[in-house]
Structure 1
Amino acid sequence: MSVSIKTSREIELMKVAGKYLEEVHERLAEHIKPGITTWELDKIGEEMIRSLGCTPNFLNYNGFPASFCISLNDEVVHGIPSHSKVIQEGDLVKIDAGLIYKGYHSDAARTYAVGEVSPEARQLMDVTKQSFFEGIKQAKAGNHLYDISAAIGDYAESFGYGVVRDLVGHGIGTHLHEDPQIPNFRQHRRGLRLMPGMTLAIEPMINIGRADVEFMDDDWTVVTQDGTLSAHYENTILITDGEPELLTLSK
């Protein structure tokens, strides 16, 4: 495994990539309303990315046909935007996005509630987001990678939720996916030692039911096997000499 340590110049470029992606997420969230299609959201978001002088890094990645992964309800991740997918009141909408700024990638995901959702759906969203923050409490130089994994998984599982095992977080930099892989559940080993300059995409994917998932016939969309709701929350972070820095979340 080759984990890259970013130089100060690379870190500055990744900070800009992260800031721009945070801005895109904030602006795109304003368009998530009943009646809009996921295809329309994708086009609006892609225009935002390009208007910032950046490139959507998901578009054509391993053949993915859109700039954003937009997943609804029991879709966990990698939902393909479509004219036929119309957002409804009560939906959970997961938007996973990334962009390239001067050769450097950022990656972040959010889960949004459309209008009134059930208390169970709201709790799932809140716990998924908090599991990320539980994880990054361990994201400090000198700790080990799987300290993050254990903190995320233990927190989510304490609510009886299923933590997806088939998909994991990852390193990020000049490539969207770099070493190391970052599971969201407890491991038998401690993993590599964290060092300042590592940039990681931490992304809990949590199901209200069982952890099992399956891939749809489009070879991209991942759904919960039992048809229950799923939530997703992700940020690109930087390991420092102190607290981790969130490159895609400033407030």
Structure 2
Amino acid sequence: MKISLKNQKEIKLMRIAGQITANVLEMITNYVQPQTSTNEINLLCHRYITEKRKSIPACLGYLNFPKSICISINDVVCHGIPDKNTFLMEGDIVNIDVAIIKDGYYSDASKMFFVGKVNQKKKKICEIAKKSLYIALKNIKPGIPISIIGKSIQNYVQKSRFSIVKEYCGHGIGKNFHELPQVLHYENSDHDTILKPGMTFTIEPMINEKSSDVYCCSDGWTVKTKDNGLSAQYEHTILVTDTGCEIFTLQKDENIPKIFINS
């Protein structure tokens, strides 16, 4: 499979899909409260995506995933399955991962939420995960190897004394949920695709409090830290532009530009 360079029509459609994804994460914020079940969060997102925005939840049925979004709490790294018997608790940190399809094009983003009052340790890992993504965005421009993304994330996270999950990575996105290129969140020069305008992909670093080691639960989806340490993740879908990058999934509460001029 070749890396797809999106034309102006495709970019316009992906902007729309990205805006809807961002709006889902904005909409659900007020519902992330103690004693709310993760399945209730899932149903609210499902109805908003399908009824309000006339879109398709990309996760639902993808490789038989049973729900419309992923919800990962505390030591869950990614792909947590919403469940009517799992309730958000005071002090939890929660990643909500939303992907949608609109007019044939995909968009994908996630962010961390605090449930009630959260301690400083949990706030810090969330802040490190967010900043690692933002630092990567500042490095994107045409003509550079894609490994710069992972290198910039790794340098920042390791200085902060956290670890990076290596089993999962960002990915190309467009007419397909997962396309080339792979976007690693650590330095690896074996993946040195040169960035070009029109490339669209996700960056989604998963940062662990302790060891980077993870395991997949018996449900075949839920990934947890092996040592029960905390994990945090932020994700955006981005476009490589002539001078830097554009974030398709930027949310209202983010204090960063939608378009980065990095040249």
Same fold per TM (> 0.5)?
A: yes
Tell me if structure 2 keeps the 8 A contact 1:6–1:197: yes
User: Following the alignment from structure 1 to structure 2, what is the Cα–Cα distance between the partners of residues 182 and 168?
Assistant: 6
User: Following the alignment from structure 1 to structure 2, what is the Cα–Cα distance between the partners of residues 79 and 170?
Assistant: 19
User: Following the alignment from structure 2 to structure 1, what is the Cα–Cα distance between the partners of residues 53 and 68?
Assistant: 15
* Deviation digits for residues 186-211 of structure 1 (CA, Å, limit 9, x no counterpart): 11346111000000110010001110
Quote the residue 1:60 is aligned against: 61
Quote the residue 2:9 is aligned against: 9
- For structure 1, the 5+ residue unaligned runs are none
SS of the counterpart of 2:106?
A: strand
* Deviation digits for residues 73-123 of structure 1 (CA, Å, limit 9, x no counterpart): 000000000011100000011100110010000000001111111111101
User: Following the alignment from structure 2 to structure 1, what is the Cα–Cα distance between the partners of residues 114 and 218?
Assistant: 26
Q: After the TM superposition, list the runs of 4 or more consecutive aligned residues in structure 1 that deviate by more than 6 angstroms.
A: none
Correspondence 1:160-199 to 2 at 5 A: 160-189=161-190, 191-199=192-200
Report whether the alignment pairs 1:76 with 2:74: no
User: Following the alignment from structure 2 to structure 1, what is the Cα–Cα distance between the partners of residues 158 and 61?
Assistant: 35
Quote the residue 2:94 is aligned against: 93
User: Following the alignment from structure 1 to structure 2, what is the Cα–Cα distance between the partners of residues 190 and 78?
Assistant: 25
Correspondence 1:67-216 to 2 at 5 A: 67-189=68-190, 191-216=192-217
Tell me if structure 1 keeps the 8 A contact 2:144–2:194: yes
Quote the residue 1:35 is aligned against: 35
Quote the residue 1:242 is aligned against: 243
RMSD (Å), alpha carbons: 1.0
Identity of aligned residues (%): 39
**TM-score normalized by the length of structure 1:** 0.98
User: Following the alignment from structure 2 to structure 1, what is the Cα–Cα distance between the partners of residues 176 and 30?
Assistant: 29
SS of the counterpart of 1:244?
A: strand
User: Following the alignment from structure 1 to structure 2, what is the Cα–Cα distance between the partners of residues 158 and 109?
Assistant: 24
Alpha-carbon distance, 1:243 to partner: 2.4
User: Following the alignment from structure 2 to structure 1, what is the Cα–Cα distance between the partners of residues 83 and 102?
Assistant: 27
Tell me if structure 2 keeps the 8 A contact 1:5–1:198: yes
When residues 86 and 242 of structure 1 are mapped into structure 2, their CA distance, relative to the original with a 3 A threshold, is same
* Deviation digits for residues 13-44 of structure 1 (CA, Å, limit 9, x no counterpart): 00000001111110011110001000000000
Tell me if structure 1 keeps the 8 A contact 2:69–2:98: yes
Moved more, 182-191 or 25-34: 182-191
Tell me if structure 1 keeps the 8 A contact 2:23–2:251: no
Count how many residue pairs are aligned between Structure 1 and Structure 2: 251
SS of the counterpart of 2:9?
A: helix
Alpha-carbon distance, 1:168 to partner: 0.6
* Deviation digits for residues 110-145 of structure 1 (CA, Å, limit 9, x no counterpart): 011111111111010001000001111121111111
